[in-house]
Amino acid sequence: MNLIGWFDQLGSWVWGLEMMLVFLAVGLYLSVRTGFIQFSKAGVIFRETIGAIRERALGGDGQISPYQATMIALGATLGSGNIIGVTSAILLGGPGAIFWMWMAALVGMATKFAEATLAVHFRQRFADGSVSGGPMYYISRGLGLPWLGGIFAILAAIAAFGIGNVTQVSALSGALYENAGIPPVWTGLFVAVVVAFVLAGGVVRIAKFAQLLVPFMVVLYLLAALAALVLHAGNLIPAFLSIFSSAFSVHAGVAGGVGFTIQQMIKAGVGRGIFSNEAGLGSAPIAHAQAQVDHPVRQGFWGVVEVFVDTIVVNTFTALVVLSAASWSKGGLPEDVLYGSFGVLGAGLRIMPLVLALFVFTTVVSWAFYGEESAVFLLGEGIRWPYRLAYIVMAFVGGLGSFGTLVKISDTMNGLMAVPNLIALVVLGGLVAKLTRGFFSGEPWRPPR
């Protein structure tokens, strides 16, 4: 077997059913350890996050507000997976897949809570008040395994070029070429220039960029979806009910096919529920670690909200649009089904390439930060600018082609990031529980020395 074949096999394993079960098991374990915090403290979580959204950053370490850190993380997770990916899940598993997507997201909330909490707890503080954190730090400092933290950082630094960069820019340039006839070289150049400008300002500029763009694109997409739902209003309630009615039963397949098995349905839904919000992959904690907070658990709350917005809100809107249009039952390519479902908007459909472009920009910028922080963990501050330059060049090149091999390798790297991260989450689950108990007892946070 050649190297590519080996990566293929590894990729199918890390993105396969067995690994999904591991994600779910870890999420359940962390839910138990934290007393199912995503449910038991739901009110507190929303008061502390959405309820305090206008609040400025707390003093102390870090350079950006908890909200900005979350917007960077959301910028990375919100992507074509929330639109095309959800449509694929419905095509592969039927409406019931959405129910299982929700279930997986609810479990994933505890995972993301633990990731964000640990990222702040174990972050590295520098003399100038800046911080660095993420799984590489909590693996290295929390587990006492710097080599495993290093492996995570290598995987993240490489994965950023694929999942965060070439895959995104390539999809955008393809869509813009097909819909607007814009040559890919211009798309690549434009993305590279914008990314270069944002990255040059460091985490503070990245945060401002995400703070501005992410809420805007979410609202824009939700308004478009809402408009489509209003125009499909007659089908909305049956579509919603079909999610529950078909969640536990065999459902007729697309185009009169043989139907979905429950296993297919669960695999498609759970897969979307896990990979859409990246809970457990270890990418988002790199952003959460930057937040100025007085207690890590407070940032953990934002982790829960991140999953909620990504999967429960955005994905559900996509699902309802697709299901209420009913065209999914005829089958077809996910892109065609999706555009067919939004076709009710008429000329308003033109908004979709803009939404896709915004999703791409935020993903590219957020992943640049993840990759850069990982590279700095490995090689020190000196690598920051060379990494940025390489990333900017790849953003331009990404517009010119799909780079199948590179994307395949980086996708595998992305999936492999979960392995050291999930190990750390299991081992440090007790600490997450202790920090959570401490927070709810009013104890001050004492960062490790």
Cα 179 to Cα 175: distance, rounded to the nearest angstrom: 6
User: Which is closer to other proteins, CB of 60 or CB of 183?
Assistant: 60
* Under rule CB under 8 A, residue 449 binds other proteins: no
* Under rule CB under 8 A, residue 430 binds other proteins: no
Cα 307 to Cα 107: distance, rounded to the nearest angstrom: 10
Helix, strand or coil, per DSSP, at residue 129: coil
**Backbone conformation region of residue 288, classed left if phi is above 0, alpha if psi is from -120 to 50, else beta:** alpha
* Under rule CB under 8 A, residue 448 binds other proteins: no
Member of 1, 255, 442, 449 binding other proteins (CB under 8 A): 442
User: Which is closer to other proteins, CB of 29 or CB of 302?
Assistant: 302
Counting runs of H as helices and runs of E as strands, what totals does the chain give? 23, 2
Phi and psi of 260, rounded to 5°? -100, 135
User: Which is closer to other proteins, CB of 47 or CB of 330?
Assistant: 47
Query: Are the C-beta atoms of 299 and 117 separated by less than 8 Å?
Result: yes
User: Which is closer to other proteins, CB of 125 or CB of 408?
Assistant: 125
Closest CA to 116 of 307, 378, 246: 307
Member of 1, 233, 346, 441 binding other proteins (CB under 8 A): 441
What residues numbered 278-297 form the site for other proteins, per CB under 8 A?
294
Query: Are the C-beta atoms of 203 and 290 separated by less than 8 Å?
Result: yes
* Under rule CB under 8 A, residue 439 binds other proteins: yes
* Under rule CB under 8 A, residue 127 binds other proteins: no
Member of 32, 47, 197, 434 binding other proteins (CB under 8 A): 47
Determine the interface stretch with other proteins among 43-51, 140-148, 257-265, 273-281 (rule: CB under 8 A).
43-51
* Under rule CB under 8 A, residue 308 binds other proteins: no
* Under rule CB under 8 A, residue 129 binds other proteins: no
Cα 134 to Cα 363: distance, rounded to the nearest angstrom: 18
**Backbone conformation region of residue 346, classed left if phi is above 0, alpha if psi is from -120 to 50, else beta:** left
**Residues near other proteins (CB under 8 A), total:** 19
- Binding map of other proteins across residues 214-253, x = CB under 8 A, - = no contact: ----------------------------------------
Cα 64 to Cα 31: distance, rounded to the nearest angstrom: 28
| Contact positions vs other proteins (CB under 8 A) | 44, 47-48, 51-52, 54-56, 58-61, 294, 439-444
